[in-house]
Every structure is written in C-alpha cells, then in structure tokens.
Chain A
C-alpha cells in the first residue's frame, strides 16, 4: 500500500473522530443545559403555585376573621391584608402555565375581591362603616375562598409528590393529567363565585358604564355617510361595516392621496366618535400652539363649539391635543376629546371622543363652596403656584368632583394639584413626567 494512502486514512480518521467528539460534546452540553433550564423553570412554577396556595389560605383566614370583627380599626387591618394578598395571588396565577379560559373565573374572583376590599377600606378611612349588605357579600366571598383553598391545597400536595408541572404543559386539553386540566376544579360550575356589587376597580358597574352624552335617537347608515361626506369633503369615503360593542357605530374607510384612515360614527345621535389613520409624518412645519388652534377649529366644524385645548404634547411629529368643554369658567375634564394633528401639514389625523360620549351632560351645580384662598391652604408652602382654575374632574370610578386645579412648580418639576372645592381637602396630584416620547401626566 502506498504511504500517501495510509496518511490519508489516518488523517481522515483523526478529523472524523475529532468532528464526532465535537458534535457529541456540543450535544451533551445542550442536553445538560436543557435539563438545567427545565429544573429551574419547574422551581419557578412550583414556587408560584405554593405562594398562590399560601395567599389563598391567608385570604380565607382573613375573610373569616373579618366576618366576626366589629371594630373599625381591626376591620381595616384585615381588609388591607386581603387587598395585598389578593394582588400577589393575581401575580402568582398570571405566571403559571395555564390557559386563560381555564383560570379566568378565579382571576376575576381575586381581582374583584381586591377591588371590593379596597373600596370598603377607603370607606372606613372616610368614616363610614361596613353595611349589612357588604357583610353578606363578605360571607359569600369567604365561602368561595374556602372552595378555592381546598382545590389549591390538593394541587400543592400533588406537585410536592412526583408531579412535574413542566412535563405536563405540552398538550393542553388532550391529557387529563395535563396541568391545565388540574384547574378544572376551580371552574365556575364547581366553585361558586359571588356576583359582587360595588363601585371600584374591576367591578362590573365600571365596565358596563352608562352612555350619558348620546340620546336614544338613532341615525341610519345613509345619514351617517352624508355626515361623513360633509365633515371630510376632500376624502374618498366608503362604508366599512359596523361595530356593536360598548358603542354601536357605522364604520368607514377614508383615503386622501397616499394616506388611508378609518372613522366611526355613532348610531345614536350620529357624532364622529373616532377617526385615525397610519399617517406618515414629515418634518415639522407647525408649532404646538398652531396645532392647538387647528384642533379647536376642527371640533367647531363638527359642532363641538365650546371645546378648548387644555393640554398638548408633541411626539414623533404629531401634536396630541386634549380638548374640553368650558362651562361657567370651569374646565369639564370628563367631557374630553383627544385630537391628533400632523405637525408637517397641520392636518387633523386623529379624533377620539369616547369620554365625551360617555360623560357629557349639562352640569347644574358648578359653584365652589370654598374660595381660592381657602383652597390654597391645602398646598405645601414650598410650591410655586403658576395658575389656578376651577375644574370638574372624574373621581376614581364613577361620579365627578368640583376642584381647584393648581399648576405648581416644585424642585423644577411641574405638578397639577387638585383641591376639593367643597371640603378644601387635597383630591389628587398629577406630575408632569418628561419621557423620550413627549410629556406624560402621571
């Protein structure tokens, strides 16, 4: 045999063996890493399940104590505990690998429990007491929490034996041992969840809000199209179906040159509820002030005559202008319309009037009980007050409050401080935060 051939064979064997070793090591490392990641993920899931179980156990015990307590301070303590526990429980649920439809009843229960207890706690702080009706609701909440507790403790025991959550998340709905299916016991038809009635976060009364700004008079599709043609004279307009959500609307597609838009006109009263499009903005030609005037004029042409710009910010070539009604020198914040103006052409490219449609009515009582000097006493000494206006503001969930709005500077930051015009108490504080994408109120 030739020498060259032997060298070739040896060389190819060495290269081959080397390559195979590399491949093998690489595969083993990968497999090893996968095992490590899997174990760590399993622990994250388990920790969340155990924490959830603990939180529900504690919620159940706090609810049971609340049922028998009569002292306001003690009640307040239990309510605060439940709010905190329910919020953490919600976080735990959201991190577990369960499909939404398997867990949404329990999520609702936990969210509404926290919202309901928060409202009761606020009531106690404001000097009210827990009513008999509320006590009945607490009792039914307690009953549900007992059932949830039972189910979760069963699961915690299962996982603490030899059940791996990670191994059971692969085929949702197929296998009965699947992690998703372990939550069947928490479904609405097995555990009873109470219908909670309260005005607060996550309550159904907030989601099913009444539309005050629109009458019952409905227009038809043809009338809606005619109005659109009047408002948007130099656009091509075509009907684009209907929306039947919280608002019922006729929808339209609009085009003007290269740009396309989408608009919705309410069936009730036929107002422009929404208008928006993917406008490609060029370099700025208009100032923020000019854009505010453009927005006000646009509103006037749509028969919203008393709308004034109360806030604006420019971001990525668009001016975002908030318009409000001014009635008897009071800014009516709940009746807000948001307008988007392109700073290159000065065209209005967005309109959003949902708040106006929900809230607009003729307010009758807009007289403050205390005067501005009295209201100023609610401010700290070291703020520099720049403006003071009367403003009607929405309170947290339902209803409205008349306030004095003080625009103040403190340590270089701008604040809007709202003082209740009846009681002189601080009502709300907003801070202007500068971000990369324009100014925000927080």
Chain B
C-alpha cells in the first residue's frame, strides 16, 4: 500500500473525528459559556456595594459592575482572611457585617423579577417605555384575564418572548431596576394596558384586534 495514501487516510480520520466532536459540541444544548458569574444570592446592587467597599479599602481593582466574577471573589477571600473570617469567598451575614453592609432579611424578589423582564423585553426602549412594560405586567396581575402574581404573569406559557428564549436570565441594569420600582410604585404611562406588541414584528393576528391605547417607542400598548 502506498505510504502517502496511508498518511492521508490517517490524517483524514483525525480530521473527521475533530470535526465530529466539533459538530456534536455545536448542537449540544448543554454547552454553555463557562465565563459566567458565580452564584452569590446577592442582588446586583449589593454586589456593587461589596465591590465599592473592597475597592475603597484596596482589596479590589476591577470594575464596580455588579458582576460577581473570580476577581471579586478573590478580593472577598483576601478580605475574609485579613479579618479572621472563614475564607470561602461567599458574602454571608458575618462577612457582610464586617464589610459594614446590612443584608436585610427580606429581599425584593418581585422587584428583581420585574426588572429582569423589563430589561429582557425593552432594554433598547426609552425609559418611560420600560416603565410601561412593568406597568403592563402589574395590570395583568390585577386583571381577571391573567394569573394573579408577578411570577404567574411573567412565567405564563407563551406570554413573553424573553421567557421562551431565555433572555429573561440576563442581569438587569440600573435603568431596568428604576423602571421596575416606578412601576411598582404605581407609575403607569399606559393607564391600564394589558397587552403590548411591536407592530413591525408582531405575528399573532389576534393581537391586532385589540384597542390601542398609546404608542411609546417601538411598542403599541393595548387593552
């Protein structure tokens, strides 16, 4: 047998195997980017406070971005070691107390979820358009036509595209938080709308039958 042919055969098998793994990897839905933030149980704002305090005291030199990455974690561990705390890199009640932070017993899960949904659905929209999305969610909670909790409304099947495609899990920014808080405080620029859609992309024929109340940014708001 020809040596060149054999070499070529071996090479192509190698290539085939590599491509095979690559293709499987591509279609494997469980392949995630490994550079994700570490689970902390803290809100973005709390992480920012931790980062700011560690930065002031020279433990941390990264950005105050509310993302609990390895740099923040290492800074926490360094701080814990220097303060005689168990160095686990987790900001629990003792570490929080040593940092001079008050982790209150009640966090605002509703606010967080609302901010996540606003961020995922409307982050390119003007501020009031973001408040309006929050208001629609709260109007749905109050409406007889929809589930009766913020969780129920947001996770209702097919209700929000951002839940279907997983964008709801993006970390909300400060604007989305402010908009969520305003909506919870009763700001509603749509005055009772329970539907909204982007007229350029909406595909459901049913949604067009609803009465439009107002238009803010790219969205029509309807009842």
Decide whether A and B assemble into one complex.
yes
A100–B156 CB distance below 8 A: yes
Find chain B residues with CB under 8 A from A207 CB.
142-144, 192
**Taking the nearest CB of chain A, how far is it from the CB of B179, in angstroms?**
8
B85-118 CB contacts (< 8 Å) to partner A: 103-104, 106-108, 111
A312-326 CB contacts (< 8 Å) to partner B: 315-316, 318, 320
B107–A436 CB distance below 8 A: yes
Find chain B residues with CB under 8 A from A5 CB.
3, 6-7
- The distance in angstroms between the C-alpha atoms of A261 and B3, with both chains bound, is 76
B187–A276 CB distance below 8 A: yes
A352–B186 CB distance below 8 A: yes
- The distance in angstroms between the C-alpha atoms of A354 and B108, with both chains bound, is 25
A276–B131 CB distance below 8 A: yes
B190–A1 CB distance below 8 A: no
Find chain B residues with CB under 8 A from A87 CB.
148
Stretch at the interface among A18-26, A117-125, A381-389: A18-26
**For residue A240, which residue of chain B has the nearest CB?**
B216
Is A91 positioned at the interface, with any CB of B under 8 Å from its CB? yes
B166-223 CB contacts (< 8 Å) to partner A: 174-175, 177-179, 181-182, 185-193, 204, 206, 213-216, 221, 223
B10–A107 CB distance below 8 A: no
Is A94 positioned at the interface, with any CB of B under 8 Å from its CB? yes
Interface size class of A (residues with CB under 8 A): 35 or more
Q: A16-B17, A245-B191, A435-B108 are known contacts. Are A8 and B10 too (CB-CB below 8 A)?
A: yes
B157–A98 CB distance below 8 A: yes
**Taking the nearest CB of chain B, how far is it from the CB of A122, in angstroms?**
18
**Taking the nearest CB of chain B, how far is it from the CB of A314, in angstroms?**
12
B214–A245 CB distance below 8 A: yes
Q: A26-B24, A98-B157 are known contacts. Are A9 and B6 too (CB-CB below 8 A)?
A: yes
Q: How many residue-residue contacts, CB under 8 A, span A and B?
A: 184
A104–B145 CB distance below 8 A: yes
A30–B28 CB distance below 8 A: yes
B7–A13 CB distance below 8 A: no
B13-40 CB contacts (< 8 Å) to partner A: 13-14, 16-18, 20-21, 24, 28-30
A412-442 CB contacts (< 8 Å) to partner B: 433-437, 440
A20–B178 CB distance below 8 A: no
A111–B148 CB distance below 8 A: yes
B46–A15 CB distance below 8 A: no
Find chain B residues with CB under 8 A from A13 CB.
10, 13
Find chain B residues with CB under 8 A from A18 CB.
17
B213–A243 CB distance below 8 A: yes
**Taking the nearest CB of chain A, how far is it from the CB of B116, in angstroms?**
15
- Which one, B46, B108, B127, B190, contacts A276 given CB within 8 A? B127
**Taking the nearest CB of chain B, how far is it from the CB of A158, in angstroms?**
19
Is B43 positioned at the interface, with any CB of A under 8 Å from its CB? yes
Is A301 positioned at the interface, with any CB of B under 8 Å from its CB? no
Is A101 positioned at the interface, with any CB of B under 8 Å from its CB? yes
- The distance in angstroms between the C-alpha atoms of A242 and B223, with both chains bound, is 15
Find chain A residues with CB under 8 A from B11 CB.
12
B156–A115 CB distance below 8 A: no
Find chain B residues with CB under 8 A from A334 CB.
none
- Which one, A100, A244, A251, contacts B159 given CB within 8 A? A100
Is B69 positioned at the interface, with any CB of A under 8 Å from its CB? no
A354–B186 CB distance below 8 A: yes
A107–B191 CB distance below 8 A: no
**Taking the nearest CB of chain A, how far is it from the CB of B13, in angstroms?**
4
B144–A101 CB distance below 8 A: no
Find chain B residues with CB under 8 A from A249 CB.
191
A276–B189 CB distance below 8 A: yes
Find chain B residues with CB under 8 A from A264 CB.
189
Find chain A residues with CB under 8 A from B14 CB.
12, 15-16
Q: A1-B3, A96-B157 are known contacts. Are A245 and B223 too (CB-CB below 8 A)?
A: yes
B7–A8 CB distance below 8 A: yes
B214–A262 CB distance below 8 A: no
Is B62 positioned at the interface, with any CB of A under 8 Å from its CB? no
**For residue B3, which residue of chain A has the nearest CB?**
A5
- The distance in angstroms between the C-alpha atoms of A419 and B111, with both chains bound, is 31
Find chain B residues with CB under 8 A from A111 CB.
144-145, 148
Find chain A residues with CB under 8 A from B9 CB.
9
Find chain A residues with CB under 8 A from B182 CB.
276, 340, 350
Find chain B residues with CB under 8 A from A26 CB.
24, 28
Is A277 positioned at the interface, with any CB of B under 8 Å from its CB? yes
**Taking the nearest CB of chain A, how far is it from the CB of B217, in angstroms?**
10
**Taking the nearest CB of chain B, how far is it from the CB of A213, in angstroms?**
14
- The distance in angstroms between the C-alpha atoms of A352 and B9, with both chains bound, is 75
A2–B3 CB distance below 8 A: yes
**Chain A 255-279 near chain B by CB (<8 Å), digits 1 or 0:** 0000010101000000000101110
A262–B189 CB distance below 8 A: yes
Find chain B residues with CB under 8 A from A22 CB.
21
Find chain A residues with CB under 8 A from B103 CB.
436
A107–B186 CB distance below 8 A: no
**For residue A99, which residue of chain B has the nearest CB?**
B158
- The distance in angstroms between the C-alpha atoms of A15 and B11, with both chains bound, is 11
B108–A112 CB distance below 8 A: no
Pairs across A and B, CB under 8 Å, 22 listed: A9-B6, A12-B11, A16-B13, A23-B24, A27-B28, A94-B152, A100-B158, A107-B147, A111-B148, A172-B158, A202-B142, A202-B143, A202-B144, A207-B144, A241-B214, A243-B190, A243-B214, A244-B214, A274-B187, A316-B174, A338-B185, A338-B186
For the complex of A and B, 6 pairs with smallest distance between CB atoms: A278-B127, A245-B191, A19-B17, A12-B10, A202-B144, A243-B214
9 further contact pairs, Cβ within 8 A, besides A23-B21, A95-B157, A245-B214: A1-B1, A15-B17, A99-B158, A101-B206, A202-B144, A241-B215, A244-B214, A274-B188, A316-B178
